[in-house]
A and B are shown apart, each in its own frame.
Chain A
Amino acid sequence: MGSLKFAAIALLLASPALAQSYGVGRTPTPDELRAMDISIGPTGDELPVGHGSAKEGAIIFQAKGCAGCHGKAGAGAMAPELQSNKGQDLPVWERGRGKSGWMILPLTAPYATIVWDYIHRGMPLGKEGSLTADEVYSLTAYLLFLNKVIPEDQVLDKESLPKVKMPMASDDYGRLPDWKHGAPRLAGYNH
């Protein structure tokens, strides 16, 4: 009996197919998954082919109407600021938030891939998802250049974008303690 039980457990562990108990749903095709997968992680594995620089991005920023909401150079209009207008000599955390209180993403993101994902997913207002990969690379480069993260002539692509060193990257930023059932949200914080 004992050995039988052991054999059953061993079989379960060895064969993931047995874990599928309901058999409901269908397997999406690789093409379907590629088309819907717009989540770009810090390693940039999901980034599409394409490239762009700040120079191209500056033109697209005007042409696509970004400047209309965000201001001519990413500040001074009604939408959240994209460029810190506080002195460059200030520590980065002190100039990381705009007047509205929102994070200035191209300055504060721990990874440049986050900026790419944000623009591609959510911009421009009312025409979300309409930008080509080249346009998103260019706009990302332009915003990073405005915040003095990269030089104006740097070309961003699938390889170079994840390697951009963001000014706020640190061992503690963009990380979280492990979540555990029934534990306080922060050890030692009883509130």
Chain B
Amino acid sequence: MGSKRTSRRELLKSGAAAAGGLAVLGQTPASAQTSQFGTPLHDTMPNMPMSGTTPTGTPMIKGTKELVEYGQRSHFVTSMRMAHPMGGRPSPDMFGKTFHVAAPLQDSVGVVTPSSLHYFATTRGAFVPDIDPKQHTLTIHGVVDRPITFTMEDLKRLPSVTRLHFIECAGNRHNARHKNVQESHGMTSCAEWTGVPLSTLLKECGLKSSATWFVAEGAEEVKGASSMPIAKAMDDCLVAYGMNGEAVRPQNGYPLRLMVPGYEGIFHTKWLRRIKVVDRYYMNYNDYGHLEKTSKEAALAFQIGPKSVITAPSGGQQLPGKGFYEISGLAWSGGGAIRAVEVSTDGGKKWNRAQIKGTPQRMAHTRFGYGWNWDGNETEIVSRCTDEIGQVQPTREEVAKYWNVPFDRNYRVPGLDNSVMPWRIARDGSVTNGLA
């Protein structure tokens, strides 16, 4: 302890002397001074306390083995996930089980959700499997010519693809009680996923002509299973082992998860261990949540419609005063890439074309921005998007009209709720839920 203090004092003294000498005397640094400053710096750094002071007064972070090996965000950044919904089931609960956890979209920039902040959910509140990748295998069988069991090593030998994709939980439904965008929309995130196209694996196995559906199954306690059309598997599904440049996180399915771009979150089978190719809709386990009275309504519970939300300014935030703000938000669709986003700053009377940041990717969050001068009056801001196949994000009234049912405040959009989300801005600059 004593030696640490001494060496820090020595460093500060020599640093201050060097800086003071330069400032006061206006001298060019002599080579002797530079080396005098440089040498002790290298010698004493390992013994510095967590936060030291440079000659100019900026606190410094001491390098530790942990920080060198695996980085950490600034302690000034406090953005956090939270249990979803508010007042619902706690995550973690008293046993250490987690249920639904929402991402802090109000703090998001760009389109990638950091893995540590990526939303996640378990089927009914569960522990997260701790899987040894050396023991883990994926077996594909059913109506195929050759069933195959792949180890993780096998999968990594095959040609890979890397793509940005959002995932969104069907429970991501905004209502009048939500205070901020994390509560209203936090059950979606977007990451860069790396893995093997499922079509590659299915071609290895050889599909029989009766193959029309497949059932994906995870290794968690309930062996959660979901049925999906084989056409989707052959189109763009991915067996992913990589997430944002490293291995998929345990909460998101380590060591292997199925990506079903644009489908509801529950289909993206985590801890993927088995795929059974079948000749009909199996309706196993997770599928019962998708059973609807008619096939028309059921169809809405697979692929997600076009959806967008303004993340800043959004509920709970505060505008310091009138003047310029870039309204920023996210748009996404299960139907493909986002083609256009519009923003209204007068509660939906006039719509303005927003700027799309970067190149929109298929079934990925797309960042949009709209430059706005707030005149200080109360108003409502809202966004809506159009995807590459021409689907337009609706209002709840429009959805009710399609289904020919009376609209009221409690109207429930069938399938995943992709209706627009208004934020109200008061004269004092406070931002609140426009549905409230």
Contact = CB atoms under 8 A, between A and B. Distances in A.
A37 B141 contact: yes
B223 A38 contact: yes
B252 interface: no
A79 to B, nearest CB: 9
B281 A174 contact: yes
A129 B146 contact: no
Interface in A142-191: 172-186, 189-191
Interface residues of B, number: 70
Given A20-B146, A41-B282, A185-B300, A180 B398 contact: no
A122 B283 contact: no
Contact of B299 (A28, A174, A177): A177
Chain A interface secondary structure, helix, strand, loop or mixed?
loop
B299 A176 contact: yes
A179 B298 CA distance: 12
Contacts, number: 173
Interface residues of A, number: 54
A189 B300 contact: yes
Contact of A39 (B278, B304, B418): B278
A42 B283 contact: yes
Interface in A81-135: 93, 103, 105, 108-111, 114, 117-118, 121-122, 125-126, 128-129
Interface in B208-228: 215, 217, 221-223, 225
B229 interface: yes
Contacts of A16: 145, 206
A27 interface: yes
Interface stretch (B8-16, B70-78, B340-348, B385-393): B385-393
B148 A191 contact: no
Interface string B137-176: 0010100011111110011011000000000000000000
Interface of A: 16, 19-22, 24-28, 32-33, 36-43, 93, 103, 105, 108-111, 114, 117-118, 121-122, 125-126, 128-129, 172-186, 189-191
18 contacts: A19-B203, A20-B206, A26-B149, A27-B149, A36-B139, A38-B223, A39-B278, A39-B282, A108-B288, A110-B291, A117-B285, A125-B124, A129-B223, A176-B229, A176-B299, A181-B231, A189-B300, A189-B402
